[in-house]
Structure 1
Amino acid sequence: MATWQLGGLQSLAPQNTNAPNAGVPQPMQYQQQPNVGLMALQGIGGVIDANKQYNSAQQLKDYQARLGSAVANNDRAGVQQLMAQYPQFMADSQKQMGFIDAQQNRQTAEAAMNLRLASQTGDPLVMQKAIQQANPVLQRFGLPAEEVYQSWQNDPQGFNRTTDLIHLHADPNSYFAVQDKQQGQGIAQQNANTSAFNAQVNASQGDRRLDLDQYKAQTDNQLRTREMALQARLGRARNDIEREKLTAELGTVQQAKMEKQNDKINTVAGNIDSLNSALGVGHELAGIVGQHPTAVTRSQNYNPLTGGLGFLPNMAEDTRTLSAKADEYNLKVALPTLKATFGGNPTEGERKALLQSVNGMKNATSNDAFLRELNKSQEVIVRMQKRQIAGLGIPVTKSQDEATDTKMLLQDSSLIKDYVTAHGYLPESYYQAKLMGGY
């Protein structure tokens, strides 16, 4: 098409023994016509030699230039006027290009239209499918699929102009019908004509999403191995189509790696929110115990004088408050731990340590014992945060101003994800602030 000749093609005329044997100029010879834009339609150039009855070659050049401009500008009226003004040029061009068989003409027109529609999507995969479908027509023109694809990549606008010109010469009625639809005279039918390619685009996107999800299901090592294998094959690719396919798959693998890592970061950021919520309740619980030195013993119905039962539990406001806050802490720590949902799956050691601490708090008979077990559970929660962040594999890049960073993170927890992504850790001062009830 428009730049196919640049790839060394010798003729766009189809190998049709029924076509007249009029001379067809070589591609670069035709390209020298000023502002022609019709390099693919070499049959038009041959009209100069085949039709001596025209006044001059300049008349043909003018026709070619004006026709190319009208087609490029989607000027339906202009094209019709030229065809009416120079009917001999159009008829002889069709003959020299081999457009003498009605069935083949329709196939050629349909192939040109479909290539044009595929080009408009800008999707390489859709374009490859369209070229594959048009291959029988391309073979009649002696056009390798690889060179057609290259011409589209190198000059999409020229490609579109040439497909329009081929469509026009193969089947003018079909060409003008499409122009009518593009100008709003038949939008519904135009949508019907393009629906097949829209479906291809949607199917292509769906296939890519499916491929992406399948890659995301693989382990990190499997993805790295596949990425290296594709990069090696890309370096040995034999042509642009193979290179395009490998590049597309490589992009899918790399996107899968990126999305998978981003999913992990989102999960860890969500876990940190849950863990910080538990830390906050723990700090409140410690404050209640600190303000009411006998609350723990009374809430346990424990008499420190006799070493046994003696006090009625939960009769005072402080013991009721302590009991309610302890229940809330259990809901945020103990039960999620048993269900393996606490801040993401805890390790077996973390689960065991948390349950021991929570049980120790339930059985504590003094404030000191209660706070000791509470602090143990809080420290486990902090270790879980650090472990999960380290598990992301993000290289640690130390901040130069952790004090300011900590204030910023405490004021806006939504920044945690970005901070972890950028630095691969959270400042120790941030953890200590959360243990002390920082928000």
Structure 2
Amino acid sequence: MPGWIESALWWHVYPLGFVGAPRAARDEAGPVHRLGRLEAWLDYAAEMGATGLALGPIFAAATHGYDTLDHFRIDPRLGNEGDFDALVAAARARGLRLLLDGVFNHVGRDFPAFAEVLRSGPDAPRAGWFRLSWPRGPGLEPDYACFEGHRHLVTLNHDAPEVAAYVERVMTHWLARGADGWRLDAAYAVPPAFWARVLPRVRAAHPEAYFVGEVIHGDYAGFVAASGLDAVTQYELWKAIWSALNDRNLYELAHALERHDGFLDRFVPLTFLGNHDVTRIASRLADPRHLGAALAVLLTCGGTPAIYAGDEQGFRGVKEEREGGDDAVRPEFPATPAGLPAEGWPTYRLHRDLAGLRRAHPWLHRARIRIDHLANRQMVARPHADGHALLLALNLDDAPAALPSPRGRAVEAGTGQVIDPGAAGARILVPPHAWAVLSCA
């Protein structure tokens, strides 16, 4: 894993939604230079504490970006390669790195190699790029593997050397153009052996590149080991944070943090409270007073954290399982941060303060968690690494709680009063539905 990732905090943007691009590429003649709208938000991201911009799909696609048509061309709804180069330069000027979204499990039906198959049949030069089953009878379309039943998303044949070579070319092309790494979409659907073949070749040319795979369920550590990825997405912790807070059952969170420690023995996961595929955390939490507790957990545990654009303003949005069901969590943003409503800025400042705390304690990237006190509605957790430690106190109850905080000294973030600071018997008085991060003696 590249050394720079230890201080990384991503601001995750879904570009097509962010800039208000049309839903379908056919709805306008391009290019329309919208990608540059992101430049007006880079200072905002950096001031919040982000060190990098994690972009959703930006390559030519038919609709939502995950039905790619050309991995070597910027989506005309966003602009062109010049717009990408300008964004890279603007990000670099602010010390921000760039993570691209690579959709290499599947392509859109109009992807040129698949269009050749539909035109030319089994003799198409790139028919081997896909898993096809040809019916008997002239003029009939082949059956083909597709992504999770979506017929417009055609699965690539990852056993084909030509597909591996193509993905390698795409990755190295954009890394050479200024990207710092790749989020690999639906990595779980691709055989780990495919990544294990491709990534060493890409790393040979770009040894400082970072690769994280989207993996939702299963053996995270085993997948990382077999694939050669640096990390995978930590959906277990994401679910445990909001579920434990909603149920006021912090035993669930403690169990997830224990498993998280086990992952940290093998790799450093990508951690998050929201992304472009899930209901926003502000809509997911049953009690809005617990948003700070959720963020405090995210930013004091080991991992490489990502903040989904809008969550830092308390945006709401519910994902629905229907066509267009992602629209609420992928909205258009104002032209500049000045267009944001006033009520979101306290949440932004909370993100900024906790990002600053994390920056002041860079060892948190690899911190393990020890639970010092646990009840259904209270927890005192001790993130620690390399001889450093903090205390995180949570109180989800309707009454104040005096919680043991051995050697706790002072509140660095959140709300609470330390009693007998620095002593072995120190306690912290935490108000109802509140949290605090303490320094330790």
Q: Give the TM bin, normalised by the shorter chain.
A: under 0.3
Q: Kindly name which structure, 1 or 2, has the bigger radius of gyration based on alpha carbons.
A: 1
- Higher helix proportion, which one? 1
The normalised TM-score by structure 1 is 0.20
The normalised TM-score by structure 2 is 0.20
